[in-house]
Amino acid sequence: MKTAVEMIEAKKRGQTASREELRAFFGGYMEGKVADYQMSAYLMAVCLNGLEPSETLALTECIIESGTSRPRENFGRPVIDKHSTGGVGDKPTIVLLPLLACMGALVPTLAGRGLGHTGGTVDKLEAIPGLRQMFSWEEGQRLLKENGAAFMTQSDEVARLDKRLYALRDVTGTVDSIGLITSSILGKKLSESLDGLVLDVKYGSGAFMRTFEEAEKLARSLHKVSTSFGVRTEVLLTDMNEPLGEWAGNGVEVMEAMRMLRGEKTEERFYNVTMSLAESMCRLAFPNDRKDFRKELEQKLKSGEAYERFLKMISGQGASAETVSKLDEILAPPEHCLVVKAPESGYLREIDTFALGKLLITLGAGRKVLTDKIDHKPGLRFKLRRGEYVDKGEAIMEVYSSRALDISEIPEIFSIGLEPPETGEYIHHLNKQAEK
Ligand code: URA
């Protein structure tokens, strides 16, 4: 078997390691026989030379096996999950869990916290006072049995190797490798015994993958590895060159998700991306059913059934009756509102969505360092979408904050021009993409 230095040297030369070599190397790391500095050097070599598909598969296996996950009881329902690579205003998970549970699926999603400039579902839902998201195995099972879904976060026991590798990657500039991202995401997701998995890979200025081409490479890698584990998988590529929905923040995003769950009208992109993900989840959950899932999903929203399920879920997870009765008040944005106006007339050409994520961090809605406490109140409200015409002085965005702000604190985010920008489809299906 190769030593740690030999593994690093081999990857530096672009050689492919065998499954056995990788198992010994990552196993040795978990046992303390490979040092953090050696693993960091190896990860950098991977970032420069990439992982072959066979190596990505082997690393995914190592991550799954490093945890103590137990196969979940499925209570006679198809087990379905979704994952998003993250963005700004990315809130479909809050709608999808109760909605898919109403359709008869079991959705054991383990959500995460914010990462970099992107928000996390766990942080958003903490805007609901008293809501618990960390459960023992038995408690999690009970909640899933009762409601078909639960808002849960990952315990320390799942995918231990990923926890250690991710912490190293975060501080050594080694996050952006397709192979490492694939194994990190799927190592966690496939630790649950899933029948189907829907992946939402974001591209654009507010995503980790800035270009469509990069996102497509990641999408293909995720699809290949996930299906080779025998999990039915669909991958959507969705646009993050502008935030998803009318609102971005924490409490305000839960509020927007609740509006959709109540069947109220919500921003078109948010609605369509969420419904496309929901349809994919239904196709994977009920592969022999050829019915029009969209119609049935819409019915669950309009009838109030999905919202009822959401309220039942949060009540079962610690939200008091008083909290539930005052949710709209609790999740409303704070009183200070600064309006960002168009400096000139023209078409809204570009939105620096990454800068919007950073602005939310400045407002306290995200973390600068791991130990920062989140302010769940601040939020951004988008009055215009890319490609729309704006008159000089018209509002483009409202910034809601817990303290009074000055316009000089808002970075340049929007570019306006005389020509409309190119705006095309914002939802792409990987498999249909391959057919083109
Ligand atoms: N999300 C993950 O879980 N892992 C990565 O490596 C990147 C995004």
163, 175, 189, 226: residue to mutate for ligand 1 pocket, most atoms within 8 A of CB:
175
Quote the mean pLDDT of the chain: 94
Task: For tokens 């009838």, name the residue.
Answer: 303
Res 59: pLDDT: 98
Is 238:92 a contact under the CB 8 Å cutoff? no
63 pocket-lining for ligand 1 (C-beta < 6 Å): no
Indicate whether 181 pLDDT > 70.
Answer: yes
pLDDT band with cut points at 50, 70 and 90 for residue 302 = very high
Query: Would you say the CB of residue 275 lies under 6 angstroms from ligand 1?
Result: no
**Ligand 1: distance of its center to the CA of 388 in Å?**
33
pLDDT grade for 436, boundaries at 50, 70 and 90? very low
Q: What does the alpha-carbon distance between residue 401 and residue 375 come to, in Å, rounded to a whole number?
A: 10
Ligand 1 centroid distance, CA of 310 (Å) = 27
Q: Is any ligand 1 atom within 6 A of the Cβ of residue 184?
A: yes
CA distance 388 to 348: 6
Q: Is 236 in the pocket of ligand 1 (CB under 6 A)?
A: no
In 207-326, alpha helices (H): 212-228, 251-261, 268-285, 293-302, 305-316, 321-325
- Compute the average pLDDT of residues 103-123: 88
User: In the chain, what percentage of residues exceed pLDDT 70?
Assistant: 98
Q: What is the dihedral of CA 14, 19, 21, 25, to 10 degrees?
A: 100
Ligand 1 pocket test, pick from 63, 64, 165, 166 with the greatest ligand atom count within 8 Å of Cβ, gives 166
Instruction: Give ranges for CATH 3.90.1170.30 in the chain.
Output: 332-417
Lowest model confidence (mean pLDDT) among 99-108, 240-249, 368-377 = 368-377
Ligand 1 centroid to 114 CA: how many Å? 11
How much is the average pLDDT of 358-373? 87
CATH topology of domain 332-417: Aldehyde Oxidoreductase; domain 3 (3.90.1170)
pLDDT at res. 433:
56
The verdict on the CB of residue 215 being under 6 Å from ligand 1 is: no
Give the pLDDT confidence score for residue 435 in this predicted structure: 41
pLDDT value, residue 166: 87
pLDDT of 434 higher than 50: no
Do 149 and 98 touch, CB atoms closer than 8 A?
yes
Range(s) within the chain of domains with CATH label 1.20.970.10: 4-50
CB of residue 181 inside a 6 A radius of ligand 1 = yes
Specify the pairing of strand 232-239 against strand 196-203.
parallel
Instruction: Dump pLDDT digits (tens) for 254-287.
Output: 999 999 999 999 999 999 999 999 999 999 999 9
CA–CA separation, 331 and 176 (whole Å):
34
The model's confidence at residue 154, banded by pLDDT at 50, 70 and 90, is: confident
What pLDDT score was predicted for residue 432?
67
Catalytic residue among 11, 60, 83, 183: 83
- Residue 81 is among the residues annotated as catalytic for this protein: yes
Question: Model confidence over 395-422: pLDDT tens digits?
Answer: 999 999 999 999 999 999 999 999 999 9
- CA-closest residue to ligand 1 atom 1: 185
Contact 113, 104 (CB under 8 A): no
Cα 7 from chain centre:
32
Q: Please, which residues bridge with residue 107 across strands? A: 149
Q: From the centroid of its chain, how far is CA 310?
A: 19
Q: Which of the listed residues 184, 186, 225 should we mutate to test ligand 1's pocket, taking the one with most ligand atoms within 8 A of CB?
A: 184
Amino acid symbol at 326: K
Mean of pLDDT values over 196-209 = 96
pLDDT at residue 291, as a whole number: 84
Predicted confidence (pLDDT) at residue 431 exceeds the cutoff of 90: no
Contact yes or no for 352/205 (Cβ under 8 A) = yes
Residue spans in the chain of domains classed CATH 3.40.1030.10 = 80-157+174-326+428-435
Give the Cα separation of 357 and 118 in Å (integer).
6
Band of the pLDDT at 184, cuts 50, 70, 90?
very high
Q: What are the structure tokens assigned to 25, written together?
A: 């190397």
The superfamily CATH assigns to domain 4-50 is Transferase, Pyrimidine Nucleoside Phosphorylase; Chain C (1.20.970.10)
Q: Is 121 assigned a catalytic role?
A: yes
pLDDT mean over 364-383: 90
Residue whose CA is at the smallest distance from ligand 1 atom 3: 185
Is 202 a residue of the active site?
no
Class of the CATH-defined domain 80-157+174-326+428-435: alpha beta
Other beta carbons within 10 angstroms of residue 319's beta carbon come to: 20
Catalytic residue among 118, 184, 233, 401: 184
Q: How far, in Å, is the centroid of ligand 1 from the Cα of 121?
A: 14
H helical segments located in 126-248: 137-147, 160-172, 178-189, 212-228
Q: Is 84 among the catalytic positions?
A: yes
Amino acid at 19: R
Alpha-carbon span 348 to 387, nearest angstrom: 5
Calculate mean pLDDT across residues 162-180: 89
| pLDDT for 110 beyond 90 | no
Distance 82 CA to ligand 1 centre (A): 14
Average pLDDT over residues 94-113: 94
More confident residue, 197 or 373: 197
Closest CA to 328 of 379, 404, 434, 256: 256
Span 33-56, mean pLDDT?
A: 97
Name the catalytic one among 11, 117, 169, 381.
169
* Catalytic option among 56, 66, 84, 238: 84
250 secondary structure, DSSP code = S
